Structure 1
Amino acid sequence: MCYYGTWATYRNGDGQFNVDHINTDLCTHLIYTFVGINDQGTVISLDPWLDLPDNWGRDNFRKFNALKQYKPSLKTLLAVGGWNEGSAKYSRMAANPTLRQNFITSATNMVLTYGFDGFDLDWEYPNRRDTVYGKADIDNFTTLMKELRAEFDKHGLLLSAAVAAVGSVAVLSYDVPAFTQYVDFVNLMTYDMYGAWDSVTGHNAPLHKGLGDENVAKENVFTVDLAVEWWLQQGCPADKLVLGVPLYGRTFQLSNANNNGVRAPASGAGIAGTWTATSGFLGYNEFCLKLKTENWDVRYDHLAKVPYAVQGNNWVSYDDPASIAAKIQHALQYNIAGAMVWSIETDDFRGKCAGDFPLLRAVNEALGKYSGNNNPSPTTTTTPRPGDTTTISQPAVTTTTTTTTAAPSTSVCQQSGYNPNPLDCNSFYVCVVVGSGQFVAHLIYCPATLHWDQQNLLCNYAHMVQCSV
């Protein structure tokens, strides 16, 4: 399962990640993040220009779901919540039957309208942070999931929840056996176990108890193995449990550059990335470039089974393909459902350090699912949809496609994704990478009176488009 942080579309340069950067061959499920709720409990877009077609928006909901044309088995989910949404609105909504119904109705309508296959609830967290109703959140969360399940079953929709991983924290938020009976997947956020909020360095996602904690009681450390065991012991069905894998690292500022091991004193958040621009956080795509171009002392915690790196006062915890494989292989012994990643836009998706998506490929290989192929050719001729049959305020693509043979990047395909047809204003190509410099080009026609608008990536009125063909 692959979470996609849509805000990456606003990053600069090589950090920018759009829907057409997604390699569908590497994910069984794609999760679009995030939508939110208003004070009435209604699910709303947090970025209408990006998500929706109205007012010449980018219509990413539909573009995201159009990826299923290239992999019919792909499932897409829409995620609501996230850290920035807080807990208060969700605490109020879950406690009130009317607001819960507003939430359920609007969630169902949004999912069905835009072609998602399911919904992911990422309430961070019941009975924590700025909660309004405290411990009542626990039962209210279960009630919400029960009522969502009842409605979703009418439409054959998937339901998942992203949950706190560490037992000592999760016990404050969830009645595990009660709510898990209503979901298809429990997405375990087994990361952010240590970070710049701590006074000492620590690993973002240690598999086991690591260096510096040898004499600390097992129950007093945060680790991936203990999180998985806790959820299973509490009654979460193994075939619903999904292990979270971070595609990013956590950074610290050392208090003393000479005291630089695991659990060394730290004075706060460390370096920020070029594209993510957040102190204490580095995407793997950012850090692998630093490792490639700068001098870092790369080390390995043989107990925790994860790497870390030191440069002067900078201390970075991160994951590499080997540490990811170790985590997944350990979790698979419990016969869990699989793995999810947070999040695909911080992997080395452009292949600047090695091949593209090295961490996501490592996940697939550890799960035994990687075939070595890139995006497959579509097995249907259904059209990817910048628009659809619902009422929208812009022209829509409603006609059929013709699949051509592989075309080199020097012809119609200048890039992966949408490309103009140099011979016809009324059509465009969707180009899918199939090898080094090679694409499969899918020719798609706009409705007869419309022209392809490459700037806005939609079929538009002819007078709105500059086309000299």
Structure 2
Amino acid sequence: MTKRNLLLLFAAVFTFVAGFYAGTSYLAAKADKIKLDFHPIRSEKMVNFPIKEVEDRKEFSTKVVMGYIQDHHDPGKINYPYLSHVIFSFAHPAENGKLLFNGEHARTNLRETVRLAQKNDTKVLLAVGGWFHIRGGETYPYFQEAIYNADSRTTLVNELMEVVMDEHLDGVDIDFEHPRSEKDAEHLAAFIKELNAMLKAQNKELSIAVYSKVDSVTGQENKSVVFLPSMFKDVDYVNIMAYDGQWDGGYNAANLSPFPFAENIVGYWSRFFNENGLPKDKLVLGVPFYAQPEDPAEAPISFSAIIKKGAENPDKDAVTIDGMTYHYNGKSTIQRKTELALQNDFGGMMIWEAGHDAEGAHSLGKVISEVLKESVEREKQLFWAKNNDEE
């Protein structure tokens, strides 16, 4: 390839990537206060950088940014240009495998999310599961019963595929919280395999949200949640819920998701995937876009609400508001975590949840996107320098 042709190629690539990140509309929470039934142990996703084939190189790194949004949030207030995937949350499994939505407004918001996402080349996945169930209590017993029986398992697969096709979705996210035994893990793997076969036949994607597996206090593996390594061969992305550490041991809001906790989680999953011969680019590191109060009787609040309470708050990880101290991840911590994921060859970043982000320059989604974009630019420059030297 001549220098002139290579230069033209990279000019085209740069134009494509710049266009992908165009747009400065902001992410904003629908309300400052999050409902008391809010439970952040959930997943999200992020931004793609497709690059055309280059001499001796199939492509540059492709990273995702996956953002969960809850079904009651206004789809018009999500900053789609910062996301490669929106994960619409949640559809709820019944014991017989039937799929339940939280009223007609949830289906309406799903359709509007798809419409707006398609304008921004953002994919939309439907999340099934979550912590709380529409019929009350945890989703776990409903989901467990649905996947333990072959008939109800197939029913759930068919129900999901029907929604995917009818609503023009790009795939499904599984949020079974959590497999608590070898038998749970086996049935979850069987369900994932069956669903993945159906999705791949339609060129659709499958992701799974997973527990962090690391105790925030001791730093040791939590063996109460069980996954079969073989299951991860049947998913495209593994969204690691690297937050909610405040519940490990006695309640401590400071353990929500500090950087050392993320380091331990990244180390655990890197080793797990390496030991089992799994590609680490399936791993997606989750980050919280909410703040946890030191008093568990108080409700968490969004990062957007934190920013509204003080111009100095974006770069902090803790702040006191009206006498209550909240712990969160500020811009610097989110930047460091994104760099940590890149350094360990992860496939990208995940957000719980995109509706909690701040606007404009203080957007955490913007921080993540800029780090990923800079990584691609550095990779292109190194490749350009290497090929120049060879010529």
Q: Using structure 2 for the length normalisation, give the TM-score.
A: 0.70
Change (3 A) 1:25 1:312: closer
**Correspondent of 2:254 among 180, 192, 202:** 202
The match for 1:391 is: none
Instruction: Report the structure, 1 or 2, having the larger helix content.
Output: 2
Q: Does 1:6 align with 2:71?
A: yes
2: CA distance between counterparts of 1:88 and 1:170? 21
1:164–1:170 contact (8 Å) kept in structure 2: no
Runs of 4+ in 1 over 6 A off after TM superposition: none
How far the C-alpha of 1:337 sits from its partner, in A, is: 0.3
Pick closer, same or farther for the CA change 1:191–1:44 going to 2, 3 Å: same
| Residue of 342, 367, 374 corresponding to 2:372 | 367
| Cross-structure match for 2:81 | 25
2-structure distance, mates of 1:152, 1:207: 35
1:247 aligns with 2:289: yes
Structure 1: distance between partners of 2:99 and 2:158: 9
Would you say the 8 A contact 2:253–2:294 is kept in 1? yes
Q: Distance in 2 between matches of 1:323 and 1:369?
A: 17
Quick one: higher RCO (CA 8 Å, sep 6+), 1 or 2?
2
Q: C-alpha separation between the residues in 1 aligned to 2:185 and 2:208?
A: 14
Q: CA deviation at 1:111?
A: 0.8
Q: Max radius of gyration: which structure?
A: 1
Q: CA deviation at 1:195?
A: 5.1
Deviations 1:352-395 (A, max 9, x none): xxx26611101111212799xxxxxxxxxxxxxxxxxxxxxxxx
Matched, 1:116 2:121: no
Measure, in 2, the Cα distance between the counterparts of 1:299 and 1:284: 8
Cα distance in 1 for residues equivalent to 2:129 and 2:202: 22
The runs of 5 or more residues in structure 2 that have no matched partner are 1-65, 134-138, 215-219, 377-391
One-letter identity of the residue aligned with 1:202: A
Q: Displacement of 1:318 after TM fit?
A: 1.0
Contact in 2 for aligned 1:141/1:174 (Cα 8 Å) = no
CA contact (8 A) 1:4 1:30 kept: yes
Instruction: Quickly say closer, same or farther: Cα 1:290–1:68, change in 2 above 3 A.
Output: closer
Q: In structure 2, the residue corresponding to 1:181 is in which secondary structure?
A: helix
Is the Cα contact below 8 Å between 2:331 and 2:362 reproduced in 1? no
Asked if 1:149 corresponds to 2:165, the answer is no
Cα root mean square deviation, aligned: 2.5
**Partner residue in 1 for 2:305:** 286
| Residue 369 (structure 2) pairs with residue 327 (structure 1) | no
Give the share of equivalent positions with the same residue, in percent: 25
5 Å matches for 1:72-83? 72=121, 74-83=122-131
1:91 equivalent in structure 2: 144
Displacement of 1:170 in angstroms is: 5.7
Moved more, 38-47 or 197-206: 197-206
TM-score, structure 1 length as denominator?
0.59
Distance 1:370 1:230, change over 3 A: closer
User: Deviation string for 1:395-428 (max 9, x for gaps)?
Assistant: xxxxxxxxxxxxxxxxxxxxxxxxxxxxxxxxxx
Q: Is the 8 A contact 1:195 1:251 kept in 2?
A: no
8 Å Cα contact 2:182-2:226 kept in structure 1 = no
| C-alpha deviation, 1:7, in angstroms | 2.0
Question: What is residue 70 of structure 1 aligned with on the other side?
Answer: 119
How many residue pairs get aligned? The number is 297
